[in-house]
């Protein structure tokens, strides 16, 4: 618990410094703890320290942890790619889907949410590419199709468009990619004023993301540690 408390305090301090450096209001950036591969006990421990929002990459892990920790009333996000056949599980949890990257998924989520009589919050995931080119493994819609996909989400009454999400390219400085993302977000907000969220930045580059206007940073390693240790792949 003491290690988690120290890590949480350190990450929060980084966010606060980044907000000040960018001339932004304190508290304008939310921390999303990415707990993939880490046990539910660690999530519960971090929740006891005041962290309320958590993210998973895989639906199976998301469902398992959300059900085990239902008594804690946490807010769950899916940040990994979502297969259409797993949409009912995610919608049923009331999770936020940050990885919407194609019209067929929009239609599937909308249909499931409508039948469940709920509204599912979603982000459009953007593929920022990079020197290595488009990265299908990371998912995301090409920048030139972001506005079109955002319009498709907004047209569905059972979905609520919250904003955009992206991962910085594996190579090169993240700043320019995040600036491109911020420009796309501004275009989307021009037509959809409620799409105020910008989910960008992780353990290694959250400062650059905050400088570009991120409202949500997704942090895993800086909170929980090396995932190789959690999975048993390392010492």
pLDDT tens profile 136-167: 456 799 999 999 999 999 999 999 999 999 99
Tokens of 120: 């599912």
Q: How far is CA 77 from CA 8, 25, 39, 53, 57, in A?
A: 19, 24, 16, 8, 9
Non-local (6+) Cβ contacts of 148 within 8 A are: none
Give the distance from CA 150 to its chain's centroid: 16
- CATH number at 15 reads 3.20.20.10
CA proximity to 212, closest of 4, 23, 1, 82:
23
Contact in structure between 187 and 167 (CB atoms under 8 Å): no
Residue 234 placed within a domain = no
Assign residue 205 a region (left: φ > 0; alpha: ψ between -120 and 50; beta: otherwise): alpha
Q: Quick one: pLDDT at residue 234?
A: 34
- Report the 10 Å Cβ neighbour count for 194: 11
Q: Quick one: pLDDT at residue 232?
A: 40
What range defines the domain where residue 92 resides? Answer: 2-225
Tell me, what DSSP letter sits at residue 14? H
- Report the 10 Å Cβ neighbour count for 61: 17
Q: Quick one: pLDDT at residue 135?
A: 46
**Alpha carbons 191 and 102: distance in angstroms, whole number:** 19
What are the start-end ranges of the E strands in 12-136? 30-34, 53-56, 75-78, 96-100, 120-126
Whole-prediction pTM: 0.93
Residue 230 placed within a domain = no
Q: Quick one: pLDDT at residue 1?
A: 62
Using a pLDDT cut of 70, give the percent of the chain over it. 92
pLDDT category of residue 172 using cuts at 50, 70 and 90 = confident
pLDDT category of residue 170 using cuts at 50, 70 and 90 = confident
On average, the pLDDT of the chain sits at 93
Q: Is the pLDDT of residue 88 over 60?
A: yes
Residue 196 placed within a domain = yes
Tokens of 122: 């979603």
Residue 17 placed within a domain = yes
Residue 182 placed within a domain = yes
Q: Is the pLDDT of residue 49 over 70?
A: yes
What domain count does the chain have?
1
pLDDT category of residue 130 using cuts at 50, 70 and 90 = low
Tokens of 160: 């609520």
Q: Is the pLDDT of residue 114 over 90?
A: yes
Residue 231 placed within a domain = no
pLDDT in tens, 193-229: 999 999 999 999 999 999 999 999 999 999 999 864 4
Phi, psi at residue 156, to the nearest 5°? -100, 115
Residue 167 placed within a domain = yes
Q: Quick one: pLDDT at residue 231?
A: 43
**Alpha carbons 40 and 116: distance in angstroms, whole number:** 27
Residue 235 placed within a domain = no
């Amino acid at each position: 618990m003491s290690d988690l408390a120290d890590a949480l305090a350190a990450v929060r301090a980084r966010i606060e410094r980044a907000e000040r450096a960018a001339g932004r209001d304190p508290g304008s950036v939310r921390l999303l703890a990415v707990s993939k591969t880490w046990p539910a006990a660690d999530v519960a421990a971090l929740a006891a320290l005041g962290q309320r929002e958590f993210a998973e990459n895989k639906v199976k892990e998301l469902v398992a942890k959300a059900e085990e920790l239902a008594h804690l009333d946490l807010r769950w996000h899916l940040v990994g790619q979502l297969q259409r056949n797993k949409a009912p599980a995610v919608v049923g949890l009331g999770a936020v889907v940050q990885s919407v990257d194609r019209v067929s998924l929009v239609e599937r989520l909308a249909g499931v949410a409508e039948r469940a009589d709920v509204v599912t919050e979603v982000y459009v995931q953007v593929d920022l590419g990079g020197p290595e080119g488009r990265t299908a493994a990371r998912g995301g819609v090409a920048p030139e199709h972001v506005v079109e996909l955002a319009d498709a989400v907004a047209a569905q009454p059972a979905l609520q468009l919250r904003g955009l999400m992206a991962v910085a390219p594996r190579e090169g400085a993240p700043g320019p990619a995040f600036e491109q993302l911020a420009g796309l977000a501004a275009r989307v907000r021009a037509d959809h004023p409620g799409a105020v969220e910008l989910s960008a930045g992780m353990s290694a580059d959250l400062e650059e993301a905050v400088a570009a206007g991120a409202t949500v940073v997704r942090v895993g390693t800086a909170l929980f540690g090396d995932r190789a240790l959690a999975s048993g792949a390392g010492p």
